């Protein structure tokens, strides 16, 4: 993992996002609050701050290290901005396992029938088995008034912490509870 450490909460203050045009600059900070718009931006920022690179090989994970370790980036709503319990569980499995996506209805049916293990097996095949580490960022519903934060969790620990009712979900409280230190990156 290089200089990165698991179970550390990394932080970086973000003041603004500016688009520099030929004759003027445009404040685009509002884009940071839009999940569709900010996902790639924060994924790339994480790579730049940590030395991880985009997984240009078409691999299943978002980022990779020089030694080939695969990192999947997932986001949660920041606990300071969204402290309510309803924001605790968030998606950590591959997107193909949710909602109307290919495997979503199958998993929903399995869970309704009480077949957690089969649902977990599908989640493993769809993504968990292709990932070495998860990078959890506080960028879901991101507010620029809070620092950009992320932590890295090894896959084996993620599998231990999956929700016992739905293996596609994980607890923000459990992830952040692992953090032993805070490191400011910028």
Domain boundaries, the chain: 8-92+133-160+173-178
> pLDDT digits over 51-90, tens only?
998 865 555 678 999 999 999 999 999 999 999 999 999 9
> pLDDT digits over 103-151, tens only?
999 999 999 999 999 999 999 999 999 999 999 999 999 999 999 999 9
Neighbour count for residue 120 (Cβ, 10 Å) = 20
Neighbour count for residue 152 (Cβ, 10 Å) = 21
pLDDT of res. 54:
81
Q: Which residue in 150, 116, 148, 152 sits closest to 133, CA to CA?
A: 152
Q: Give strand pairing partners of 18.
A: 27
For 90, the token pair is 């968030």
Distance CA 79, CA 23 (A): 39
Do 8 and 151 contact (CB within 8 A), yes or no? yes
Per-residue CA distances from 28 to 32, 33, 35, 138, 146 (Å) = 8, 10, 14, 19, 17
For 177, the token pair is 């509870």
Q: Which residue in 83, 97, 78, 71 sits closest to 158, CA to CA?
A: 71
3 state SS of 40: helix
Do 180 and 8 contact (CB within 8 A), yes or no? yes
The residue among 109 and 1 whose pLDDT is bigger is 109
For 174, the token pair is 């459990």
User: Whole-model pTM?
Assistant: 0.92
pLDDT of res. 60:
67
Write the CB contacts of 81 (distance below 8 Å, at least 6 apart in sequence): 141, 143, 145, 146
Displacement of CA 137 from its chain's centroid (Å): 5
């Amino acid at each position: 993992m290089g200089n990165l450490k698991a179970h550390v909460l990394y932080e970086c203050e973000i003041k603004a996002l500016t688009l520099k045009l030929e004759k003027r600059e445009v404040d685009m900070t509002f884009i940071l609050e839009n999940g569709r718009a900010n996902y790639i931006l924060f994924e790339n920022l994480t790579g730049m701050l940590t030395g991880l690179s985009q997984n240009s090989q078409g691999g299943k994970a978002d980022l990779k290290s020089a030694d080939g370790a695969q990192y999947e980036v997932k986001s949660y709503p920041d606990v300071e901005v969204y402290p309510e319990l309803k924001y605790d569980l968030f998606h950590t499995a591959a997107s193909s396992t949710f909602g109307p996506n290919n495997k979503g209805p199958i998993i929903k049916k399995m869970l309704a029938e009480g077949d957690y293990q089969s649902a977990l097996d599908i989640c493993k095949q769809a993504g968990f088995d292709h990932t070495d580490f998860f990078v959890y960022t506080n960028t879901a519903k991101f507010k620029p008034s809070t620092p950009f934060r992320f932590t890295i969790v090894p896959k084996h620990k993620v599998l231990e912490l999956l929700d016992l009712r739905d293996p596609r979900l994980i607890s923000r409280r459990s992830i952040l509870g692992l953090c032993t230190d805070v490191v400011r990156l910028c």
